[in-house]
Structure 1
Amino acid sequence: MSLASFSSHSPHPSLLNTLPEHVWRGDQMGSHAARPVTSGHRALDRELPNGGWPSSVLIELLMRHPGIGELRLLAPTLSQLTKAGKTVVLMAPPHIPFAAALAELGLDLQHVLLIEADKPADRMWAVEQALKSDCFGALLCWLPQARADQLRRLQLAAAGSEGLAFVFRPLIAREQSSPAPLRMVCQPAPAGSMSVEIIKRRGPVHAAPIILPLTVPEILIKPFNSRTMVDSTLSFPRHAMDRFTSAAATARSHSALAA
């Protein structure tokens, strides 16, 4: 039998039944060595490999623009991690998150670190260093201009870490190849919910978007002038990152990650 004729036919069912249990099949949900972290959304967990967010890999969230509710989507996971004393790193968000709203969503702000990096090259360098440090429970990074080769470097760095690595990219990147094993398209849906479509995972093709209800912090609903001084003074540590700063400044940043 020629190679062409062999490859044009599906394996015989009896052959599939003889495969060892540890061999992954294309119609099965993939597994991961590390224990997954629940997303806090049952409908989403059912579609994620092993029933939760996988660690040691890039998780790519594609959005038309930032601020559509990505932090509210991840809030149950981030709350769980910070309450366990693990650091959540917000790397170069396009807008400074409202600390009081994050606190209302259950995050312990003592374990949330904001790192600012204005230049794309500095931002990419900072993300890679954070991944290599492996001193975080979750790393959230906004990378609107990431190239495929840069993402491959980050995926290699993530493989040596144990935390969750979320990368936010523009929706147009959907048509581009990516080394991220898990890719999702996130779009706003009615009543403050979010539509999540898994476009890449280790497992069968995802059939349809999942509509997830998201919590809206009460403080965001209040008129601005009715917010208390306590609300406005809540904050978390902030650090500026520049590749060309002194070695001492870089050491301080690493110390902050490990805190």
Structure 2
Amino acid sequence: MKPALESLLREHPRHLWRGLQSPGEGRATGGDAATLKTGREELDRLLGGWPRGGITEIHSSTPGIGELRLLLPLLATLSQQQKRWILWVTPPYLPYPPALAAAGLRLERMLCLHPRQRQDRLWALESALRSGTCSAVLAWPPPLDTTAWRRLQLAAQEGDTAAFFFFHEAQPSASGWAALRLELRPDPRGVAVAVQKRRGGMPGRGVVPLSEGEQLPLAIG
């Protein structure tokens, strides 16, 4: 490999990827890694980790099938290791603090926002992603056009924020900017995960098992 290319790959690992990069490469071990460990062996094999400084789209056939459960190991780690916020933006149900605490999340790191107007929601999202004060942002956004997607993805990169946008499968998604796009469906063993888009990798499918205790609700109506 030419010295100039080696230098780029070494100095800017988050902004460059190899087209045939395997799922395990670039897995988060330090501050400059492009991905964050999911905390679940099956997901790490399937995804190579959650995108760091990028948006993950999560589309569910049915709300509450385990989409939040997939994120709990990461959120617990971030809340314990970083002095940054984990922000919830317009969740459809109220997060249930005892369940989150039981999963290892530090509740003092949690914030929840409910902007009512579309523009307020977009402003809050972009500001939180870009500020660098949030380790993760979980959002249930309004319909997004190409310009909004681009601004939000660039904001996540600038703020080094892991963003997770949740959609019902009926909602259209024309995003070419998200770093990762997943489709979730219920499975007798847990959650069936279909990778529709993964930056630097190929699509794939797998099942993430959930224990009986993990089926308990994380939110209340």
TM-score (norm 2): 0.79
| Equivalent residue in structure 2 for 1:102, among 92, 100, 103 | 100
The CA distance in 2 between the partners of 1:82 and 1:140, in whole Å, is 14
Partners of 1:58 and 1:95 in 2: how far apart?
21
Aligned to 1:59: 56
- Asked whether the 8 Å contact 1:104–1:217 carries over to 2, the reply is no
Q: Is the 8 A contact 1:34 1:55 kept in 2?
A: no
Task: State the AA in 1 paired with 2:79.
Answer: T
Q: Counterpart amino acid of 1:214?
A: L
Secondary structure at the residue paired with 1:68? coil
Q: Which of the numbers 154, 157, 160 marks the counterpart of 1:156?
A: 154
For residue 47 of structure 1, give the secondary structure of its aligned residue in structure 2. Answer: helix
Give the length in aligned residue pairs: 201
Structure 2 unaligned segments of length 5 or more: list them. Answer: 10-15
Change beyond 3 A, Cα 1:153–1:65: farther
Length-normalised TM-score, structure 1: 0.68
**Identity %, equivalent residues:** 37
| Cα distance in 1 between the residues matched to 2:126 and 2:62 | 23
The letter of the residue matching 1:210 is G
Which residue matches 1:37? 36
Relative distance call for 1:219 and 1:211 in structure 2 (3 A) is closer
Structure 2: distance between partners of 1:136 and 1:122: 18
Q: Assess, with a 3 A threshold, how the Cα gap between structure 1 residues 152 and 76 changes in structure 2: closer, same or farther.
A: same
Question: Within 5 Å, which residues of 2 pair with 1:76-225?
Answer: 76-84=73-81, 85-173=83-171, 176-191=174-189, 193-207=190-204, 209-215=205-211, 217=213, 220=216
SS at match of 2:108: helix
Larger-gyration structure (1/2): 1
Q: CA deviation at 1:152?
A: 1.1
Q: Which residue identity lines up with residue 212 of structure 1 in the other structure? A: V
Q: Say whether the 8 Å CA contact 2:85–2:110 is kept in structure 1.
A: yes
